Amino acid sequence: MKFLNLLLIVFFGSLLINCPKEKAADDGSAAALLLLVSDSSKSIPGITINATSTSEWAHVNLKSADPSVVVTNADAWDIRFKRFVIATNSGTSGSKTAGSCETATDNYDDPTISSSSCTIAVDSLQSQTGDGGFGSANENASPSMFLWYAYDGNTHILSSKKKVYLVRGSDGTSYFKFQMLDYYSSAGTSGYTKFRFQKL
């Protein structure tokens, strides 16, 4: 009987020794997944703002944890929209030290885009006669982003030129790459400005 017990112990012991080991719980894949999530969160996905009013601006704080929430003129806004007009909190548009300029690329993923890619200009009075938009009018707006769109005279549709802009925040020290994506809601209503940005 003792021999039989010893034989069983040896048999089951050899099975345990030769069983394939389970994959370790932490093989680094969790860290890789976390890294992937962290890297993708650097660039804010497209944000749509309701800028359909012809008289009221929609103000956006790019430095906010949730930049999709429209803020008031009294808050630390960086950029604002009224229909297709874009302004920064600078010059004739605001009392802060924001501003913008057009980089030399339309490649949003260009790794060379930096806070010194172009010379920041503050907002000033901009004029437009016809050619889409608001017809003949004057607006305090960003001189670099005033004509971010192409206008189709046949369809009367605005489409983004996909230029990449550099926007300086209202604090004067934050910089963002910025690109307009669209001007229409999913239902085709104009004034729903869609853009993306990333802090540099």
What local confidence, expressed as pLDDT, does residue 44 receive?
63
Q: Rounded to two decimals, what is the model's pTM?
A: 0.76
pLDDT per residue as tens digits for the range 175-197: 999 999 999 999 999 999 999 99
Q: Which of 79, 106, 110, 77 lies closest to 165 in space, CA to CA?
A: 106
Between 155 and 11, name the one with better pLDDT: 155
The pLDDT score that the predictor gives to residue 127 is 86
With H, G, I as helix, E, B as strand and everything else as coil, classify residue 133.
Answer: coil
Reported as a single tens digit per residue, the pLDDT across 27-66 is 433 333 223 333 333 556 799 999 999 999 999 999 998 8
pLDDT of residue 134: 53
The count of other CB atoms within 10 Å of the CB of residue 8 is: 10
Which tokens in the block code for residue 47? 């944000």
Strand 99-102 with 164-168, pairing = antiparallel
Domain ranges in the chain?
46-199
106 CB-near residues (< 8 Å, 6+ apart): 161, 162, 163, 164
Question: CB-based contacts of 14: which residues, under 8 Å, 6+ apart?
Answer: none
- Give pLDDT, residue 184: 96
Backbone angles phi, psi at 135, to 5 degrees: 65, -140
**Arithmetic mean of pLDDT over the chain:** 81
